[in-house]
Structure 1
């Protein structure tokens, strides 16, 4: 069992028996590690905001506050990133620190595979400034997660329509608009499609095969940052 899985399992073990304690020795035997490793793991969980404390005495041990911890959470990667993006908007408000703490607690109780997928998806969401609040068509919103080619009917800034097949690669948001980052087969190049100019979307069965880096954007790198899941 790797450390991430063990941290998750430790919280669930303590939740299952709360308010009874589990000793470091008992937990070490349960997870087949040393008591020193358990002590380090508990310290890491406490530093992450998990309400665990130690009860002294011969029958003492570690206890978690069941009422203040979450059971396993079945959120999709998209749902997790949506919450991260919403909490990102708290930056500069009196609730910014509380929002960051809430996100850490959410990630701590996600199954490791789901948390890893959420991190991968978040790495494809890039923001310039505070990020926008404009709506995005559902088919476009699902495109990067689904990794399927789209056929778009798109209007350029002059209002001229075109139909093109694109390979969705990520999202870019600035303070006023969302853009779909995609490889445009018509132009044979990376393009940003402003989502409010997408007039129609048809998902195709063909999978996306291309990869890209934020450095491929014609935007100064210091202005672009990935959505951070902490």
Structure 2
């Protein structure tokens, strides 16, 4: 009798799955389990049809451990996303100005060599991306975050073509 493979066909990870896996790995540190998990993520992402320099740099960032102090802030951010709670960021922008902002966290993503928190900034009343390396401190709050669908803000998405008018 022939051995028939009845396994389900492989499928690509969704953008939401990629973001969740990457954020989960971001704060694991540099131990052996974290290294194995990052290698697994690298293998999972190798099959995406995104062969360019931006993707290569992004994959390197996804699979490199964060510095300890940044990983600690990533844990607070991940907990806030999971708990659907506002976080208070002490943030230094590209010009060096420091602000304190309450943010409804939506998701985290990586682009090239930087990690970002994407969220609804209550100060600016708009979606903003906050580079992890510019977040000086992050404080958890007990304020419920308003829902914002992450799918609108994730990388690796195929954009739907507009219907012809």
TM-score (norm 2): 0.57
For 1:198 and 1:81, the matched residues in 2 are separated by 18
Give the aligned partner of residue 187 of structure 1. Answer: 124
Cα distance in 2 between the residues matched to 1:189 and 1:212? 14
Greater helix share, structure number: 1
- Greater relative CO (CA pairs within 8 A, separation 6+): 2
Q: 1:173 to 1:79 in 2, by over 3 A?
A: closer
Give SS of 1:89's match.
Answer: helix
User: Counterpart of 2:84?
Assistant: 147
Structure 2 residue aligned with 1:7: none
Quote the Cα distance in structure 2 between the aligned partners of 1:85 and 1:210: 29
Structure 1 unaligned spans of 5+: 1-42, 50-76, 98-127
Please list every run of 5 or more consecutive structure 2 residues that lacks an aligned counterpart in the other structure: 10-19, 26-33, 48-53, 158-165
RMSD: 3.5
Superposition misfits of 4+ residues, deviation over 4 angstroms:
77-81
Aligned residues: 117
CA distance in 1, matches of 2:102, 2:124: 10
Q: Contact 2:101–2:122 (CA<8 Å) still a contact in 1?
A: yes
User: 1:106-145, aligned counterparts within 5 Å?
Assistant: 129=55, 130-131=58-59, 132=61, 133=64, 135=66, 136=71, 137=73, 138-145=75-82
**Inter-CA distance 214–85: structure 2 relative to 1 (3 Å threshold):** farther
Larger Rg: 1
Within 2, Cα distance between the matches of 1:80 and 1:193? 14
TM-score (norm 1): 0.42
Q: 1:157 to 1:213 in 2, by over 3 A?
A: same
